[in-house]
Amino acid sequence: MEIKFIDLFSGIGGFHKAAVRALNSDKNRTVCVLASEIDEKAKEVYQYNYGIASDKIKNIREIKSSEIPDHDFLFAGFPCQTFSNAGKRLGFLDEIRGTLFFEIARILKEKKPNFFILENVKHLVNHNNGETFSVILNTIKELGYVTTEKKLVISAEKVGVPQKRERVYILGVRKELVATEYLKTPELKKVNQKEMKILENKYDERYILSDEKIIRAINAWGEFLKKIVKKDNRTLPPIWFDEMTMPKEKREKALIGIKDWRKKYLLDMWDIYDRNKEFIDKWSKIHEVDKFAKREKKFEWQAGIDNVNIEESIIQLRQSGIRCKKSDSFQTLVAIVQIPLVFDKKFHRWRYLSTKEVGKLQSFYSVDDNKKFVDYSSIKRDGTFRSDYITYKQFGNSINVEVVKQLIEHLWENYGKK
């Protein structure tokens, strides 16, 4: 049997991968009958990996419903927009006209696929005081679909992937296929932990951190972290070197008229300074901390009270400072620009997460998947770091394939199999 799907806002095809993994079997063949996207670079990746010519992948606004082949599943990770007309009670389709969600709704109305999965940032749930989400749910209901009772906010950690990435998913099944008022709540399982090993032993040299200034700053803060004595074994507060070392006589004035949280922050920092003055003065001289760039003077340790080894953390170089997180969970890849740094113990150096590793955080590579994914940097390899930014961004915009695979399986097992 052929199971057909359409991939709207298709990006680099996270849904495509998930559908093939979830539904392909000896009996079933999964076929993408339409992909829609406007970003040329994402289309290139789509063509390369899934064989759909990029000139056939169009803007959803330009595709007539009558041109869309029949399909079983509709997938869409759509951009979040405000429904400014909502509330006029013209019928939901009229209220949302002009938005990208409207494009999904009109296809559901005309084509009536049996299943759909929509994905969005968690914030969609509270967007515009919850109005956006309720317009979406009401529209879906009006179009004859049943969805889950509870809002499904799922992090990739739920399937065992070490990435905190919360997304909202809306599952829909045509009401004729469902005997109950709501769909069963999907229960996600953790997958093979071998696949969850994100860091690769081999990586290209371009991922090695080579900026001497940053390396010096990281080493200095690493030493600071090890030597500093904290109050009652508390965790280290965020440190900004300039404020921490402010002359004592200026402190009182600095506290006037500021918010409580900021007061606490300054007092905590000064407490650290006063307890460790001798060490900090010497340390800052040796490392010439006063000459660091602004962001390198700021240090945020969020990798645990017990851990005092910077090499056991993941570093995010933010505009606002050097932030260290625990090494067992990566932050959400949001169209990632601050690519995390990890420490390579074998060669004793810091390096950026490779594009392959970022793809692993989105479960694009799996031992069960015989169609290997080729990312943008690999298609466009020009030996520089330039194309990597596009790949990081594309993975960051995508979905976690494993989470969506399990959601598709849930729909198919419960409402699809005859």
Ligand X SMILES: C[S@@+](CC[C@H](N)C(=O)[O-])C[C@H]1O[C@@H](n2cnc3c(N)ncnc32)[C@H](O)[C@@H]1O
Catalytic positions, written as ranges: 80
Q: Is 9 in the site for ligand X (CB under 6 A)?
A: yes
When binding is defined by CB under 6 A, the residue of 96, 225, 399, 403 that contacts ligand X is: 399
Least Å from the CB of residue 286 to ligand X:
47
Q: How far is CA 351 from the centre of its chain?
A: 20
- Tell me whether strands 115-121 and 166-174 are parallel, antiparallel or unpaired: antiparallel
**DSSP letter string, 314-349:** EEEEETTEEEEEETT-BPP-SS-SS--EEEETTTTE
- For ligand X, the binding residue among 1, 25, 59, 334 (CB under 6 A) is 59
Among residues 399, 398, 411, which one has the least CA distance to residue 72?
A: 411
By CB under 6 A, tell whether 388 contacts ligand X. Answer: no
Q: Does residue 375 interact with ligand X by CB under 6 A?
A: no
Q: Rounded to the nearest 5°, which phi and psi values hold at 340?
A: -65, 150
Enter the tokens of residue 173: 């099944």
SS3 271: helix
For residue 63, the minimal CB distance to ligand X (Å) is 8
Give CA–CA dist 131/152, Å, rounded.
17
For ligand X, the closer of residues 156 and 228 by Cβ is: 156
Say how many residues touch ligand X, by CB under 6 A.
21
Cβ–Cβ under 8 Å, residues 337 and 278: no
Taking alpha carbons only, the member of 123, 125, 124, 76 closest to residue 102 is: 76
Quick one: 56 or 61, whose CB is closer to ligand X? 61
CA nearest to 192, candidates 25, 410, 405, 402: 402
Nearest-angstrom CA–CA distance, 109 and 95: 15
Burial 92-114 (b: 16+ CB within 10 A, else e): beebbeebbbbbbbbbbeeeebb
Question: Rule CB under 6 A: is residue 359 a binding residue for ligand X?
Answer: no
Nearer to ligand X, 156 or 399 (CB): 399
CA 160 to CA 361: how far, in whole Å? Answer: 10
Among 3, 22, 30, 39, binds ligand X (CB under 6 A): 39
Give the contact letters, 15-34, x = binds to ligand X (CB under 6 A), - = no: x-------------------
Compare residues 36 and 245 and give the one whose CB is closer to ligand X.
36
Tokens describing residue 221: 């803060």
Return the exposure string of 25-49: e unless at least 16 CB atoms fall within 10 Å of the residue's CB, then b: eeeeebbbebbbbebebbbbbbbbb
Question: Contact with ligand X (CB under 6 A): which of 61, 175, 231, 372?
Answer: 61
And the tokens for 261? 């949280």
User: Coil, strand or helix: which one is 118?
Assistant: strand
Query: Binding mask 93-132 vs ligand X (x if CB under 6 A, - otherwise)?
Result: -------x--------------------------------
Q: Is there binding between residue 398 and ligand X (CB under 6 A)?
A: yes
Q: Which residue is nearest to ligand X (CB)?
A: 11
36 lies in the binding site for ligand X (CB under 6 A): yes
Residue 396 as a binder of ligand X (CB under 6 A): the answer is no
Examine residue 376 and tell whether it contacts ligand X (CB under 6 A).
Answer: no
Contact (Cβ atoms closer than 8 angstroms) between residue 279 and residue 244 = no
397 binds ligand X (CB under 6 A): yes
Stretch that binds ligand X, among 55-63, 241-249, 269-277, 320-328 (CB under 6 A): 55-63
Interface residue with ligand X, options 11, 186, 237, 396 (CB under 6 A):
11
The reply on whether position 38 binds ligand X by CB under 6 A is yes
- 381 near ligand X (CB under 6 A): no
CB closer to ligand X, 116 vs 224: 116
Among 3, 42, 159, 280, binds ligand X (CB under 6 A): 42
Nearer to ligand X, 34 or 342 (CB): 34
With respect to ligand X, which residue has the nearer C-beta, 100 or 178? 100
| Binding residues vs ligand X (CB under 6 A) | 9-15, 36-39, 42, 59-61, 77, 79, 100, 397-399
